Structure 1
Amino acid sequence: MGVTFDEWQHGIGKIALGKTADGKYAATVGGVQLSIPRQVGKTFLVGMIIIALCILNKNLTVLWTAHRTKTATKTFQTMQGMVKKKKIRGHLAAGRNDGIRTANGEQEIRFRNGSVIMFGAREGGFGRGFDEVDIEVFDEAQILTEKALEDMVAATNQSRQPSGALLFFMGTPPRATDPGEEWLERRNDALEIKPMDQVVGLSDDTVYVEFSADKDADPDDMDQLAKANPSFPHRTPLESVLRMRKNLKNEDSFKREAMGIYDALDSGQVIDDNSWSKVCDPASMPLERLTLAIDVAPDRSMASVSLAGRRADGLWSVELDEQKRSVEWVSAWVKSRAEKNRLHAVVVDEMTGLVEERKGRNYLVGTDVVVTLAAAEGRDMAIACGQFFDGVMEPVPKLRHTDQPQLNVALSVARKRPLAGAWAWNRKDADSDITPIVSATLALWGAQKDDVERPTRRRTNERTALVF
């Protein structure tokens, strides 16, 4: 086809298209994940691989998706130029526009042998309803959601190609605000980071390739840039790099986009240790809007009660009040707190089974304590998680915690899951207990919420700090 690849592209092509003894793609199950910085040449590499496969195989169906319409259209325009090369265009379908259809929503490249590459944006629902798809390319895969995967991956189950279906995931390290859970989970499945930076692969059915500079790299170190970008400077000129450096004002953004460096999210952690330590205050004490919140593990083996409120300086404070096995102790514990203190609210996730309704109001089972519900699978939980994250990660953090080991550990094993267009806490694995961080998140949400059901108080003396 008159195409020349660089050495690194040959290497990726060889392992991405490698086959097992039975003729199936070795990565037909787990797919090919490419974590490669911008301006390296991954679109050219994968694009030419796809074009070659379409020419070599009859009736190959390929879906090329990006998160945004703008990106999908740009890739389509790039690949139009690729297939118009002298030695390739003769393979395009005959007829008007030589097999290239440019109508919005129907952008595609067709070949004489019946193969086709279709382009579309996931944000517009592209990919749903297809069947007998042989190859799927997920561009901008660092913001690929679980829902988009559910819509699209099933279409490859009916692939008719002897080598099996193949999935390509292309992207860069996600930002903290990106829905990058799927990307990071795939990365973590492929890698196990050991002490001394030793990397051990865990998956035998996935190809994972990552180009990146050292974590502590100086963004102006050209040697580090060359380490992350094998096309620099012979294909990616210095001025292109300098342009990115000039326009990406945030240094972390440049490190992610141009140098492929993962920040704290490389472990899937939602809030990194450094940011969490910056809002640590062992002496933090809430005085106003005192709120308790309860969370229970899915198997009811563990429960946590957390406290949140506003401090004298106007900042918000969260801490774990108690954590014990089972759930039998929770009602009595919260009842004793409500009797001794003027609580703003008691928050209970309605999925815990600790709530009963009497006369149109919600109470904690076995008590006269009125509770404010937070829907586990709804907007409340998504808002609560967003507020907690912002309280730690915004430029001037408004949240403080008391550096409790249980809360720290829960945060370290907490991950994201998509919810209501945003996200909610999820466990790293089945053995992880995240009830302390979930209850702390709900406590903060309740403390900041005005329309709450007030807890019943039996004592008349008012207190402004929690009595233990």
Structure 2
Amino acid sequence: MPSGIVSTGYPAVAAQCAKMGVEHDDWQQGLGRAILAKRETGLYAAGIGGVLISICRQVGKTFTIGTIVFALCILFPGIKVLWTAHHSATSDETFDTLAALARRKRIRPYIRQIRAGNGKQRILFTNGSRIMFGAREHGFGRGIPGVAIVVFDEAQILTSKALDDMVPAANTVKNPLVVFMGTPPKPEDRAEFFKTRRRTALKIKERRAAGETVASNMLYLEVGANAGDDPNDPEVRARANPSYPHRTPDDAIERMRELLGDEESFKREGLGIWDEDSDGTGAVDLALWKAHRGKLVATTGPVVLAADTNLDRKLSALMAVGAGADGVPQLRVVESKAGSAWMAELVVRVCHEHPEVVAIVIDEKKSTEPMAEAVASALEDAELAVAVVRTSYPDMAEACSVTFDLIHEGVMRHSGDAALEAAVRSAVKDEREGSFTWSRRKAGAAVVPLVAGSLALWEWLRRRDADYDVMDSIG
């Protein structure tokens, strides 16, 4: 909770909701009181640090925040609200949900117009208030001044650029309210903001539990089951979802579980459980990794490719390593996306366009075998003299160790590509008999670009060192 609370604006909102035919459940009332909590100044207690909500799907968060926002729009004429999601599909779905709410018999008299045009979705109130909807991936929210409320949906996918674009919109308002809500992030999500704010909240909670008086300008709510809980236990589901079972029955939860198709995803999105390693405490020192970020220069000399995919083909990646004139190895993402059928064609095209490519490395695993065979066959059909290098566990372990050492002790460059950044953030070690590999099991599909990148670095360094040995023998 934020500090310095003396009152809350929720009673007026609850009264307005009653006029609209909306009644909040107990947990929604508690959240409303906390969100609208005020200090002696009359300003929102969380007005500076914001409201952050980590909560599972199908709990009614859009309805909860949406009805509170509707009430505020009616109570305070002329206010502007930005409601944004990362993806257009989510933004469109939210607009449809709240537009349907606006058409309700007891709410309709407050509504002047509902605009559904692409990129111009609006709910306009008769008193001049308005809610504007859009997707951050399309740059929504830049340059709109005087915004009283900003709602960041899908806050688990929130980049610094989106924050830089949108938060200034609320800087010119005396008493702004910024709400961030989402589910626990997947390993591949760009969730630095959400994770950092969560860590801050947990540290504040820990210090307060130890008896310290700690001031805070933020409200953080996390609803979820505990790691290791039985997802089939009704008590666990009730802990994770306060709308269970009276509004969200078992059938709805099982349907979501089936559609997500992955138990780890269900734990995050269906039960609100954060990944153990999603708080930035993985294998790689992120500060050192960031220090290697820089503009890549034109490569001179041989280039090595490496490809990898996970068992269910959720993500495949083609990575490349070469060096500039200064001899520093450069790691870059050629492509990173779902599926793997596209890999062979892309490898052939890259090798045609870049004759400096001398090898492609693919790990010797059941998950990569079909892709490796397709790549080798395509290269042979194209009559390209590019070596296909298959690696064993010892090779992979050496590749991971070499990459770890380069990041923490050596010299390298990377461009900061989003897929590779996500892989490095999610990196966790699988240790075995004094060696380690990057864990696909713990980190999920997100780590695939780092696995491929490690293989490419390993093979490139082997070839470079072999060339050095030849030159030494000649000398």
In structure 1, the gaps of 5 or more residues are 94-98, 274-293, 299-309, 316-345, 349-360, 364-370, 375-379, 412-416, 429-436, 463-468
Q: Secondary structure at the residue paired with 1:224?
A: helix
Structure-2 separation of matches of 1:263 and 1:272: 17
1:72 to 77, 80, 91: 91
Corresponding position of 1:148: 162
RMSD across aligned positions (CA): 4.7
Structure-2 separation of matches of 1:250 and 1:51: 36
Q: Which aligned pairs between 1:375-454 and structure 2 lie closer than 5 A?
A: 380=331, 399-400=396-397, 419-424=416-421, 445-449=456-460
Q: How far 1:272 moved relative to its partner? A: 9.7
| TM value normalised by structure 2 | 0.62
Corresponding position of 2:217: 205
Q: Which amino acid aligns with 1:75?
A: T
Corresponding position of 2:132: 118
Structure-1 separation of matches of 2:423 and 2:217: 26
Between the two proteins, the alignment pairs up a number of residues equal to 350
Residue by residue, what CA displacement relative to the aligned partner does 1:2-49 show, whole Å, maximum 9, x if unpaired?
211111111111111111111111111111111010011111100001
Query: 1:264·1:271 contact (CA, 8 Å) conserved in 2?
Result: no
Query: 2:188·2:423 contact (CA, 8 Å) conserved in 1?
Result: no
Residue by residue, what CA displacement relative to the aligned partner does 1:47-69 show, whole Å, maximum 9, x if unpaired?
00110110011211000011111
1:186 to 197, 200, 220: 197
Corresponding position of 1:302: none
Structure-2 separation of matches of 1:401 and 1:202: 47
Query: 2:145·2:172 contact (CA, 8 Å) conserved in 1?
Result: yes
Corresponding position of 1:460: 473
Structure-2 separation of matches of 1:74 and 1:395: 36
Structure-2 separation of matches of 1:173 and 1:9: 20
Query: 2:85·2:91 contact (CA, 8 Å) conserved in 1?
Result: yes
| TM value normalised by structure 1 | 0.63
Change (3 A) 1:420 1:38: same
Same amino acid, percent of matched pairs: 40
Structure-2 separation of matches of 1:261 and 1:213: 6
Change (3 A) 1:259 1:297: closer
2:150 to 101, 113, 136: 136
Corresponding position of 1:63: 82
Structure-1 separation of matches of 2:116 and 2:197: 33
Structure-1 separation of matches of 2:423 and 2:77: 43
Alignment of 1:44 with 2:57, yes or no, is: no
Change (3 A) 1:296 1:30: closer
Structure-2 separation of matches of 1:111 and 1:26: 27
Q: How far 1:422 moved relative to its partner? A: 3.5
Change (3 A) 1:44 1:384: closer
Structure-2 separation of matches of 1:443 and 1:450: 11
Choose between structure 1 and 2: higher helix proportion.
Answer: 2
Structure-2 separation of matches of 1:114 and 1:448: 64
Change (3 A) 1:268 1:443: closer
Query: 1:20·1:26 contact (CA, 8 Å) conserved in 2?
Result: yes
Query: 2:53·2:220 contact (CA, 8 Å) conserved in 1?
Result: yes
Change (3 A) 1:216 1:186: same
Residue by residue, what CA displacement relative to the aligned partner does 1:312-341 show, whole Å, maximum 9, x if unpaired?
xxx9xxxxxxxxxxxxxxxxxxxxxxxxxx
Residue by residue, what CA displacement relative to the aligned partner does 1:110-159 show, whole Å, maximum 9, x if unpaired?
11111100011111221122111111111111111111111111111112
Q: How far 1:192 moved relative to its partner? A: 2.4
Q: How far 1:173 moved relative to its partner? A: 0.7
Query: 1:27·1:205 contact (CA, 8 Å) conserved in 2?
Result: yes
